[in-house]
Amino acid sequence: MRAGVRRSRRRGNKGLRILLGAIVAVFAVILIAVGIKFAISGWSENAKEKEEEKNKVLVTGIEVACDRPVVRAGESIQLKVTVTPDNATDKTLVWTVSGDMGTVDEQGVFTPAVEAGKSDVEVTATSNDGTEVFGSVSIRVLEAIDPSKPMVAITYDDGPHKTNTPKILDILEENFAVATFFMVGQNIEGKEHILKRSYELGNELGSHTWDHANLSKSSNEKIKQQLDDTDAAIKAVVNIENPILRPPYGAFNNNVKEVCGKPIIMWSLDTLDWDTRSADATYLACMEAKDGDIILMHDIHEPTVVAQEDVIKGLQEKGFQLVTVTELYTYRMGDFGPGKASYKMTLDEYQSILALQSASSTTENITEEDATADSTEE
């Protein structure tokens, strides 16, 4: 009996074990199957990633450039960015500006911080694909113009000069000041690097005819030739369309105005530097400047160059913003365009001209007669 019971219990145990074994086996098969499936998909994903990684085109070079790397605080400037190779997988960039002095948007437009004025900032683009490739450009930031504060436009005629013009550029650069250079076209050859530097520092480049011709005594054909040749010589070096004109001797008439197609820029403060050839006299003349003045000097004379350090620092210390002629017009004169002549540029005079203009339309003739009578320039 006991043995029989034991036997039957044993037999019962065996059946249970077989059943459990079967269940375990089924589970094991399922687990293995699931495991294999995961292993296979994991492997294929990994392989896909590896394949993608293998096909990824990395950035090898970034170039950041700018047609004219100078901007006023408060304004913006377009940068040109070239990422190589052209088919790089990730061409996104991370922009940084030295001293945190500005921002660059997705279109590559650089906007300096307001407080960036009077500084040269380094703008850098770095690759975003882990390669850390970067390119950068140095940009000169000039102070924002405050229209409520006095400003003058310094102008230099008759250059460019091989040694004197660069010395003036040095002084302007050092003081974050800009001026306007009215150049004689035939003087440009061999001095292209001077023009380029001048332009990149933010100076304005204008025409003073091809060979210092008296336009008021020239035929229409000659006037056109004088101006076209000079424009072409400037355009061959820097990207300026239709530069402004200062007629030699300040001489122009109605015919010149009609033919030239340019703003005619006279002056309101003649330093007579060409006559005195004295650094002291030139400096003292400049210190008489009033808001809105266009100051006439010549960058070909050594004494004028000698005076410039004191002139530029002196004007700045007196609170004058040094601006280009076009900037001066933007803030002090509304009447600026082809065939329009102006030289009375102080704010008081401007306001009286405006009053005259509203009273009569003959104002232009008045200024023109004054201009032709004033032929003191060398």
Catalytic (active-site) positions:
157, 298
Is residue 206 at the binding interface for Ni ion, with CB under 5 A as the rule?
no
CB of 312 closer than 8 Å to CB of 171? yes
Is residue 248 at the binding interface for Ni ion, with CB under 5 A as the rule?
yes
Residue 24 structure tokens: 């375990």
CB of 137 to Ni ion, least distance (A): 36
Chain centroid to CA 68: how far?
Answer: 4
CB of 166 closer than 8 Å to CB of 93? no
CA-nearest of 370, 292, 371, 365 to 334 is 292
Helix, coil or strand: residue 375? coil
Task: Choose the stretch contacting Ni ion; rule: CB under 5 A; options: 16-24, 242-250, 309-317, 353-361.
Answer: 242-250
Helix, coil or strand: residue 14? helix
CB of 275 to Ni ion, least distance (A): 13
CA-nearest of 250, 337, 332 to 290 is 332
- The residue type found at 257 is K
CB of 242 to Ni ion, least distance (A): 20
Q: How many residues bind Ni ion (CB under 5 A)?
A: 3
CB of 232 to Ni ion, least distance (A): 20
Is residue 250 at the binding interface for Ni ion, with CB under 5 A as the rule?
no
**By C-beta, is 102 or 248 nearer to Ni ion?**
248
Beta-carbon count within 10 A of 239 CB: 9
**By C-beta, is 257 or 301 nearer to Ni ion?**
301
Contact pattern for Ni ion over residues 133 through 172, marking x by CB under 5 A: ------------------------xx--------------
**By C-beta, is 135 or 248 nearer to Ni ion?**
248
Distance between CA atoms of residues 222 and 175, nearest Å: 40
Site residues, Ni ion (CB under 5 A): 157-158, 248
